[in-house]
Amino acid sequence: MAFELIVMGGSWGGMRAMGTVLEALPVGFELPIVLAQHRSVTHGEPMLERVLGRGSKLEVVPATDKEPLAPGRVYVAPPDYHLLVEPGHLALSADAPVGFSRPSIDVLFESAAHSYGPRTVGVLLTGANQDGAAGLAGIAAAGGFTVAQDPATAERGEMPAAAIARGAVRRVLPLERIGPFLADLRSGIPR
């Protein structure tokens, strides 16, 4: 079965890590990518989108409610909103923080697992808590493909280590290999 969606999450050090992943993706990359990065509400300007967009060959945009998913576009969760994936589009929620986080990586990943199941690729990057571990396990349980940054290459390794400890990760990769790995997914799962 072909993949239709990539969801990615990060916290402490995530902006740099996400930038490294996105820089490696080629022009014409077909899958939509939906990102949740823990960030302060006071930094509500689209700074993250601008920073990620500078190095990416893909269009990086702030996610909006009910926005349709488009191939090769990167959607970034706005500060202080959960970002969910529904079949064919995005949804925003102001529900209570999960694990002190809004946006919550778990909320994003669990919605992707529910909506896209085995057609989902989940990527968990650097962070100093456990957000994303349960959601990545949900993607794995739904038959999706899961990737975690090697904690040794993470600015803070607690987040990917929590997912690895849960047995939710199919592939552990150093940061610099995640982007090329995702680029190769178009022709099936690379060895």
d(CA 184, CA 190) in angstroms, rounded, equals 6
The Cβ of residue 34 has, within 10 Å, a number of other Cβ atoms equal to 26
d(CA 107, CA 97) in angstroms, rounded, equals 10
Q: Find the catalytic residue in 56, 82, 101, 131.
A: 131
Tokens 């916290």, residue? 11
Which helix (DSSP H) or strand (DSSP E) does residue 23 occupy? helix 14-23
Evaluate whether 171 touches 177 at the Cβ level (below 8 Å): no
Q: Find the catalytic residue in 38, 101, 104, 106.
A: 38
Is 11 labeled as catalytic in the residue annotation? yes
CATH architecture, domain 5-187: 3-Layer(aba) Sandwich (3.40)
pTM of the model: 0.93
Tell me which residue of 141, 39, 31, 15 sits closest to 85, measured CA to CA: 31
Give residue-wise pLDDT tens across range 71-110.
Answer: 999 999 999 899 999 999 999 998 888 888 889 999 999 9
Is 56 labeled as catalytic in the residue annotation? no
d(CA 7, CA 5) in angstroms, rounded, equals 7
Give residue-wise pLDDT tens across range 148-191.
Answer: 999 999 999 999 999 999 999 999 999 999 999 999 986 556 55
